[in-house]
Chain A
């Protein structure tokens, strides 16, 4: 199989998935799959293609398609630069498709636990994708950070889901939306779920993982930022919005977080030098807009947020792909300060990405204009200071988008450059064309956003974005944005110092420090435990045996002793059993004395064989038979291992004298252990037999199960799960033995 084949396969899958989603939404009109999953736990496998699901799955599959096409050329070049073989290509496409699949599953899931499962699947896929360049330490650390931040907060989602289940007795989201009532519990659950969403969307204070995740190859970043992972965060907010909405302070918290992210992301995007870092902070601020709109709480907010996600996804994916193409064209240059004037070398890319940049900056005739129109409308609906804050946010976006695009293509040339393959520019152009198409004919996008908004807002949301050539407030705000944006761009030298100081402050006192500090603390803690533990195996055994003894002793003290400690009668037929038990004890004691290991092995197996006799006298021919057979194989394995070990080592061990003091100590410990075992087993075994036992039931039911041997029926039927667990252990043990004896090779 040629590894390059993975790219077309991946692209075809993505295209098919996109077509299927489109078909399902437009022609089939949505639909629901509802299967029982684990009915006894009230879990159902429920997927529904509603408006919200349609929006996000179209993005996930459509942008996924663009990204796989782009990667078909980008990835071989990327691997070549790093001197890696093409064998790594299929891994990329596998995880991109897994990412896509889990994203589509996530957005369609209607069951809380199902949502959680898909949620974690996206985290796992992103872990492998961010850490794709696994030989680089930075890349591994970034992947781990993304996994930890989103994985730990995912537990919040699970806790929230379980709280809701505990209160309302269902995991089904539609049922919960109907049943839930405002209150402390709903607020707490909603807050926990919102935390999971905000962390995944890299909102303040969780924003730090996203710029780090730029260590991923560019197609991954493009996908992560626009259609998956980060988008999943705001999706979750949209999905649970009907629950979150019922708590006012949660909405206010979302407002604060959204504004914070807008400010932090926007200001830092103005200071970053590395292309992808700039875009990363831009993503933080853009999703800040979305969260802000959710926080505003009106119907414009709900639809606006959905529309914003579409517009942003198209533009941001294109800009990321542009960054990757530019870096490729300039032999690995990633810094804005070393780029510029590429209009002659990459004219096509310049125009294509210009469309997307115009879209992000919300210029008229692009889909972006409407995203800001809805954004302003949502702010106006709420009133107060919010329109002003909205304009401030939009100004930042305008400024850093210009900085990105003009920094690459305009100005004087600062680096060598050559053309890039068409497969790397065509996806950018296609996305750019969509941005423009949305600006000229917004209806289909608006319809999609409206359908999604209806799910989010849980009520009809009639909005109608259009160009209005009059002096209404939204238009004035847009004009103000452009004017102020130009002003910010021109006055760069005035504020750049302050912005950089802000960025440094974030590095010094930001939440990233907390992350690293807690990671370090955990490491130090585990080191200490490890140190305590590995110094000596015997100490460890003693630390287990000691507390166990204390607990057992306490148990004995507090258990009523009535009926305990019966000597028990010895019937006339019990004498053989009695003798066999004595023999077991004698043979066991005999294992202490042999010096040579071979003798030890033989004495040990004699214990086993006599034990088999005991089992037989107890009326268990099955057990006795197994014991005999196992003992035989064990003895042979034991001797096999002894053959493997050099005689010298064994002899040294056998003749190594044990200090007297230690001997006495060990014997003392053994006596105490034996005494406790004696007390516990004597008191337990003396408990009078119950009249009606499960065993009686098993015996009665065995013929019903077509069995004559009750023990086998229990093993294969009544308590089959035990057996399943047992054979799984045996299977894993076999893997372990293979690992230990022949370095993991199973033949």
Chain B
């Protein structure tokens, strides 16, 4: 079971980092979401015990699932949710200012802008 969990985490993380390296900004966001999914899965499988849900009344003699990792995973999910929503609006904002979602186009545009600012500053001095 440990091995299977670890493998799944690894797949999520690997695929996430693959998408992170893409040029398409939306795929980058998907990559980040997958990586945070990997983190969530890792957290929950790091529980020290597994069994019934930790809600009273508890059955005697049956193992109880570790509630601490669950609370932490819950927190992590919520934060990932907030951040992903923010990232998506960031993507939209990038699109409105650069009219592109391609990282290569955007970084080229940024370099151009940077250079124009520098030349303006030189002119001012």
Contact = CB atoms under 8 A, between A and B. Distances in A.
Contacts of A422: none
Nearest to B52: A619
Contacts of B107: 534-537
A121 B33 CA distance: 41
B84 to A, nearest CB: 6
Interface in B43-86: 44-58, 64-75, 77-79, 81-86
B82 A534 contact: no
A621 B53 contact: yes
B92 A740 contact: yes
Most buried by B among A581, A633, A634, A682: A581
A654 B110 CA distance: 23
A734 B4 CA distance: 37
Contact of B89 (A681, A685, A711, A736): A736
A416 interface: no
B24 to A, nearest CB: 5
A675 B28 CA distance: 20
Given A585-B12, A693-B66, A653 B18 contact: no
Contacts of A707: 56
A20 interface: no
Interface residues of A, number: 101
Contacts of B20: 541
B41 A604 contact: no
Contact of A619 (B13, B54, B68, B89): B54
B14 A623 contact: no
Contacts of A597: 26
A614 B40 CA distance: 11
Q: Which applies to chain A's interface (DSSP): helix, strand, loop or mixed?
A: helix
Contacts of A626: 74, 77-78
B6 A678 contact: yes
Most buried by B among A591, A675, A711, A719: A711
Nearest to A590: B15
Interface stretch (A8-16, A201-209, A391-399, A666-674): A666-674
Contacts of B30: 591, 600, 604
B121 to A, nearest CB: 11
Contacts of A538: 21, 23, 103
A695 B18 CA distance: 35
Given A608-B37, A637-B88, A726-B79, A708 B3 contact: no
Contact of A620 (B44, B86, B90, B104): B44
A653 B102 CA distance: 7
Contact of B79 (A569, A669, A729): A729
Interface in A578-627: 578, 581-582, 584-585, 588-589, 591-592, 597, 600, 604, 607-608, 611, 614-615, 618-623, 626-627
Contacts of A473: none
Given A537-B103, A581-B4, A619-B50, A711 B70 contact: yes
A298 to B, nearest CB: 53
A745 B10 CA distance: 41
A638 interface: yes
Contact of A695 (B24, B68, B85): B68
Contact of A584 (B12, B82, B84, B89): B12
A571 B8 CA distance: 18
A508 interface: no
A52 to B, nearest CB: 48
A733 interface: yes
Interface string A709-745: 1110011000100110011011001101100110000
A545 interface: yes
A678 B7 contact: yes
A514 interface: no
Contacts of A588: 8, 11-12, 15-16, 34, 37
Contacts of B21: 538, 541-542, 666, 669-670
B84 A653 contact: no
Nearest to B38: A677
A581 B42 CA distance: 12
Nearest to A625: B74
Interface stretch (A64-72, A233-241, A697-705): A697-705
A714 B55 contact: no
Contact of B3 (A568, A604, A694, A737): A568
B111 interface: yes
Given A567-B3, A569-B1, A733-B86, A645 B92 contact: yes
B122 interface: no
11 contacts: A620-B70, A623-B44, A626-B77, A634-B81, A641-B91, A666-B21, A674-B15, A693-B49, A699-B58, A722-B75, A729-B83
9 smallest CB-CB distances across A and B, nearest first, come from: A674-B14, A619-B65, A568-B2, A678-B10, A670-B18, A682-B6, A677-B13, A733-B82, A714-B71
Given A600-B26, A604-B33, 10 more contacts: A535-B111, A589-B11, A619-B52, A653-B24, A666-B18, A681-B5, A715-B71, A719-B68, A723-B75, A733-B82
